[in-house]
Amino acid sequence: MSASLYDNRILIVDDMIINRELISSYLKSEGYRNIHTAVDGQDALEKIDEQEPDLLILDLVMPNVSGIEVIKTLRSHHKTRNLPILVQTMITDPEERKEAWGYGATDVIIKPIHKLELLSRVKVQLQNSYLIRTLEDYQKIASEEFTRALDFQMALLPSRTQLAELYQKYHLKIESMFLPSRFLSGDIWGIYEVSSEKVMIWICDFSGKGITASLSTFRLHTLFLEYRHKVTSPAELMIILNKSLKGLIPVGHFCTCLIGMLDLKNRTLTYAAAGSTHPIVYFPAEQKFYLGNGAGMPLGILQDATYEERILDIPAGASLNLYSDLLWDDVGAIPGVSFLSEDLPSFIQDLQGKSILDVIRNHINLLGETSFSDDLTLVELSIENNIKEKMS
């Protein structure tokens, strides 16, 4: 950095030639090699437009275009809004100097200029500018990497083609919503065929956010791929996942999860839960519902945790709803939507027989561009009426 510091482009703007030459001589004596001058504000703006400097040393009182007008113009454009501007002025009135600060001056130095003070302030501003550019470059790279990682995560989720195939084969209708928070997501869900009558569905949520949570979803997806054809018991699969994740995820982190075996012919869900949200069986026509039980030790905490299997009936005309905990933990994030047990009865009544997922999607659309405090995943599943005839 120290070598390149003296190659920074510095533009000195002053209508007095003696001031331009004095400041130039001070900078050259210190080793700065890329020094340019402008005779007034208009000249400065034209030269900045041709090639933006790394630092502007600007007189406030000049003919044609004043220093204040130069500052206002530069701060109004995205390209130059962060350009360091060192104002040099004879104005000693604090209120008038405050005006320069208010319009966006980076620093102020009072004439007559002292060499050591000038060199010190120039060096500080160039170093700060370098650090800001480095941070901006890092943020840009990080943003691109986050976007790429999120794209990979999205690719892990069941595709529209996969869900369409399940509908064609089994009249199993599945709608889903996946909205990552402002950070990388810790949510993931999946579904796969086990036999001609059974389908495994699962939804999991890792604690924390960012890279750690995102990497954990990849690990979990890999584990499901490894065991999907070996283990068909939700409780047994949960035990295997727990033991694997105990050694993979950082200490203090965990994963809430629900794994269910859906019997398409008998319309039942046999499932195991690990601290998940309670599954909801919803009857649109009757405007009623009942809850499953999401209790269980979250994955990755206790090596020898065990999990019991429970059964939910999913009658004709009902839908099974699985979801992440944003709808519990951040009540009010989506106005009018809460899955807390005390709020669900009124929410179900307010649906007036509409799909839970459709209503929530409409609420979110009304909010416009939204970034929630946590990820939002919602899966709505129903078995259409003629499934038994199809399989008999």
Strand bridging mode 10-13 / 35-38? parallel
130 Cβ contact list (under 8 Å, min separation 6): 1, 5
288 Cβ contact list (under 8 Å, min separation 6): 348
Whether 208 shows a pLDDT value over 90: the answer reads no
Find the radius of gyration of the CA atoms of the chain: 32
pLDDT of residue 390: 44
CATH H superfamily, domain 157-391: PPM-type phosphatase domain (3.60.40.10)
pLDDT tens, residue by residue, 242-278: 999 998 888 888 999 999 999 999 999 999 999 999 9
Stated pTM of the model: 0.68
- Mean pLDDT of the region 207-211: 78
Cα–Cα distance, 218 to 83 (Å, whole number): 42
Cα–Cα distance, 100 to 90 (Å, whole number): 13
CATH H superfamily, domain 2-144: Response regulator (3.40.50.2300)
Q: Where in the chain is the domain with CATH 3.40.50.2300?
A: 2-144
Q: Strands, DSSP E only, in 180-230?
A: 187-193, 198-206
Highest mean pLDDT among 22-36, 59-73, 354-368: 22-36
pLDDT of residue 185: 72
pLDDT tens, residue by residue, 327-370: 777 767 788 888 888 889 999 999 999 999 999 999 888 887 66
Whether 27 shows a pLDDT value over 70: the answer reads yes
The alpha carbon of residue 366 and the mean position of all alpha carbons in its chain are separated, in whole angstroms, by 20
182 HSE (CA, 13 A, CB side): 5
Whether 375 shows a pLDDT value over 90: the answer reads no
**Token pair in block for residue 243:** 């033991």
- Tell me how crowded residue 83 is: count the other CB atoms within 10 A of its CB: 20
Return the minimum-mean-pLDDT range out of 136-140, 300-304, 315-319: 136-140
Question: Which one is predicted more confidently, 327 or 239?
Answer: 239
- Mean pLDDT of the region 174-197: 87
Q: Number of H helices and number of E strands within the chain?
A: 13, 15
Whether 388 shows a pLDDT value over 60: the answer reads no
Return the minimum-mean-pLDDT range out of 11-20, 72-81, 157-166, 242-251: 242-251
Q: Where in the chain is the domain with CATH 3.60.40.10?
A: 157-391
- Mean pLDDT of the region 307-326: 94
